[in-house]
Structure 1
């Protein structure tokens, strides 16, 4: 790549970032549904930059504010709490936690393919009073690539009139990561980490005990050198470990040297298996065609 093309690429990235900042800046006060992941962090950082730009130009309303809010529930991995606090501090956005009660909803606990709808609708129910207090709109980190996946939570967002600036500007995940680097975010390359409930096989009840068990299992694997992974829980309390294929040997070594299976059984799993396809996003959705053929039954 020659110098001219590099400059053009930099200019395009700067223009994309500028479009996002200007778009969010046009929305007035905002409340960002903030997980600490790269998508919501880009939205939060762009909101802060837009507010700074408006302040510098003298256009900022004295009542205009931006706030990041993180849902605290059993489905939030323990390490993500610290991540959200750290990244919000780096961005310089006001940050708070709100405790949600999605566990009280039958549609969430029964864990059919629409579980995410009940989770997100509960989240937005708790965010709306905060947004009303600030006369603000709610923003999520949904990006353009998310629209092509099975994401019932997006419908919950539409019903709650949540704004999706990344998707609205047709920004893909790779573009969002590039903007994160442009904005200087430390989590620009952070692997995606959906909520712990997404690890549980559809039609296996979501319970606090199962969520805590998955969190403990993934934390144990991370402490032993596997930063990017999923522990999927299937019926019969079976743990299916997903890691990148180049990490398979590392898992085998853990079993031989540290007795991975014994550790997982102590946590409450009955069986442990390594997925030979490797780590991929949304693997629990791969069976939805068969589930939908049978039909969702209450």
Structure 2
């Protein structure tokens, strides 16, 4: 299995070398960190890691991006994005991710052009192509490449290779922007984003790793891994105290547990046609 993965990795390096120079859309997640590592191996200093800076991205992840880029020896830039000023994004329709990625990739394309870099690439993997991801349409429109998906690397394979190469993100839980915590149609504001960020920070400080705090007005619906349910009940009073301090009146535990993109299930299939967001 590892030999097969190394073949894919060599194809990835060759693909990156053909691009010549790249701006990596860098979120500090498993996929983009692995991609940044490979880009540094293939292209040396002809790589820029660029992270979108907005209220939809918590401070902890921004700092993580800084640290990882420094560890990998790659020049890192924070690019201010203004998706919340776009009413099409703030209204939180099922196409929210398209407008977000359109804003981000436009800024990264401008950065690449200004720096004389050939391409913008992101960490989309082979699994993502079968998911509901409106952001991929923005990537196509703006010429963003997906090298991991192009060579057929799946999430599981990326984690395995990341562990092999000693990347500390190999077992990092999946993450999505804070806007994904709101039901479609619920307007997104800076205040609500800060409320969710504070609630998730509280859970992280209590030692939980893979989870979501879904925002339903006064209700915080906690999606935790089922194996964490007993611990959540042990820490019930502390969790309630901290999430009430964040602004929630009622704190509930979702018995179905943590799953990525849980709000996508409420969308009619017809709306998903032609969209290939994961939340």
Q: TM-score, normalised by structure 1?
A: 0.87
CA deviation profile, 1:123-160 (whole Å, cap 9, x unmatched)? 01111111102232100101111111111011111111
Structure 1 residue 241, shift from structure 2 partner? 0.3
Does residue 248 of structure 2 align to residue 269 of structure 1? yes
Structure 2: how far apart are the matches of 1:121 and 1:51?
Answer: 26
Aligned counterpart in structure 1 of residue 260 of structure 2, from 281, 294, 297: 281
Structure 1: how far apart are the matches of 2:269 and 2:171?
Answer: 34
CA contact (8 A) 1:144 1:172 kept: yes
Structure 2: how far apart are the matches of 1:87 and 1:285?
Answer: 31
CA deviation profile, 1:234-269 (whole Å, cap 9, x unmatched)? 2x332110110011111112224x2x3343223222
CA contact (8 A) 1:102 1:108 kept: yes
CA deviation profile, 1:11-33 (whole Å, cap 9, x unmatched)? 22222211111111110110000
Does residue 69 of structure 2 align to residue 88 of structure 1? yes
Q: CA RMSD in A?
A: 1.7
The residue aligned with 1:296 is none
Aligned counterpart in structure 1 of residue 156 of structure 2, from 168, 174, 196: 174
Structure 2: how far apart are the matches of 1:176 and 1:10?
Answer: 11
The residue aligned with 2:179 is 197
CA deviation profile, 1:178-229 (whole Å, cap 9, x unmatched)? 2222332111111111111111111111111111111110111111121221
Structure 1 residue 121, shift from structure 2 partner? 0.3
CA contact (8 A) 1:36 1:84 kept: yes
Cα 1:14–1:215, aligned 2, differ >3 Å: closer, same or farther? Answer: same
**Aligned with 1:74: secondary structure?**
coil
Structure 2: how far apart are the matches of 1:96 and 1:275?
Answer: 38
The residue aligned with 1:56 is none
> In the comparison of the two structures, how many residue pairs are matched?
271
Q: TM-score, normalised by structure 2?
A: 0.93
Cα 1:10–1:171, aligned 2, differ >3 Å: closer, same or farther? Answer: closer
Structure 2: how far apart are the matches of 1:160 and 1:291?
Answer: 25
Structure 1 residue 38, shift from structure 2 partner? 1.1
TM alignment of 1:24-35, pairs within 5 A: 24-35=16-27
CA deviation profile, 1:74-122 (whole Å, cap 9, x unmatched)? 0102211121111111221111101110011011100011000010000
CA contact (8 A) 2:181 2:212 kept: yes
Structure 2: how far apart are the matches of 1:271 and 1:157?
Answer: 39
| Stretches of structure 1 lacking an aligned partner (at least 5 in a row) | 1-8, 53-63, 294-298
Structure 1: how far apart are the matches of 2:244 and 2:182?
Answer: 17
The residue aligned with 1:213 is 195
The residue aligned with 1:50 is 42
Aligned counterpart in structure 2 of residue 123 of structure 1, from 83, 104, 121: 104
Q: Which moved more, 1:182-191 or 1:140-149?
A: 182-191
The residue aligned with 1:37 is 29
Structure 1 residue 291, shift from structure 2 partner? 9.4
Structure 2: how far apart are the matches of 1:290 and 1:150?
Answer: 10
CA deviation profile, 1:12-60 (whole Å, cap 9, x unmatched)? 22222111111111101100000011111111111110124xxxxxxxx
**Aligned with 1:26: secondary structure?**
helix
Structure 2: how far apart are the matches of 1:50 and 1:170?
Answer: 18
Does residue 210 of structure 2 align to residue 228 of structure 1? yes
Structure 1 residue 270, shift from structure 2 partner? 2.9
